[in-house]
Amino acid sequence: MSYEDVSAGSHRKRRNRCLLIGVAVVLLTVTVLAVVLGLTLEGAANSGEKLRKIVVGRCETYLKQHSNLSRVNNCETIWETFQQAYVGKDPCDVPPEAYDPLIKSVTQHVACSKMLFWSKTKTMVHAFTVNRECLLTLEDTLLGFLFDELTWCSKTGSKETFTTDCPAWGDCENNPARSFWIKASANFATVSCGNVSAMLNGSLESPFSSTSVFGSVEVKNLDPDKVDSLTVFLVTRETDTTTCASSSFQSLKSALDPNIAYNCKEVPYARVEGCISDPGIPCSDCL
């Protein structure tokens, strides 16, 4: 056998080995991609199912506590209507109006003069209302309770619900969660009646902000034909210097319909804290 024959055979063997290695790499890559894709799809499906269980579970819990609402609300219907607002859509192109069907699918009548709005006081205001029935925030209603502190979105053409990698509040104007709260807040204000109130933070130099949800949505949607007055409870600590005379409240009065009476009352934080600790203290003694 000549040297040339040996050399050619060795070359063919090396080429065959390289070809086999190449095929193995391709197969491995395809396998990895399939696994990753499968995990991604499975993760998306699990994400949506987990959110459904949370929302429906909250709904069922709320209706058990408010049995009079169970006859006029269906948890699965609410979930399906909720999904229709954002599934398959660009997560930055879900306007507040997309939640109109959801708003209509939830039935709850709140008695006049019980509506309590808030701004920069969420933890305190909910600690106050959790064991009391005299005042009610949006998050204490069925609609707000279902979606409080949750995140959700979808993608264009997708049938899935995602709970991660969704736009944050300020990332884009018409993202799913932001649009929901804008619509729900507007509705809460629209149906308000009688003497309503708001709890604001006296530790801030400007307790009222025209760009907050309270300032830009809720105040502007109070109906003067139904709302008689708005009372601001300015919760202050001993070291706070902000009072009801703060210039920011001039902006509030300007934004408020002139046919709605405006009041402001400074309330010591210690008193609110005491009422949170003792739910038996009447609301009238707290605020």
Phi and psi of 115, rounded to 5°? -75, 125
In the block, tokens 């509030």 appear at 252
Annotated catalytic residue 153: no
Q: Which amino acid, 218?
A: E
Annotated catalytic residue 275: no
Report, in angstroms and rounded to the nearest whole number, the Rg of the chain calculated over CA atoms: 28
| Active-site option among 92, 112, 134, 244 | 112
d(CA 196, CA 261): 10
Residue 72 CB-half CA count within 13 A? 10
| Active-site option among 59, 75, 153, 193 | 193
d(CA 44, CA 53): 14
Q: Which amino acid, 219?
A: V
Query: Which pairing describes strands 261-268 and 194-201: parallel, antiparallel, or unpaired?
Result: unpaired
For 89-146, the DSSP string reads: S-TTB--GGGGHHHHHH------TT-BEEEES-HHHHHHHHTT-SS-B-GGGSHHHHH
Q: Degrees (nearest 5) of the Cα angle 278, 281, 286?
A: 105
Tokens representing 15 are 């080429």
Phi-psi region of 20 (alpha: psi -120 to 50; beta: other; left: phi over 0): alpha
Q: Where are the alpha helices (DSSP H) in 131-265?
A: 142-147, 176-190, 213, 248-255
Active site (catalytic) residues = 112, 193
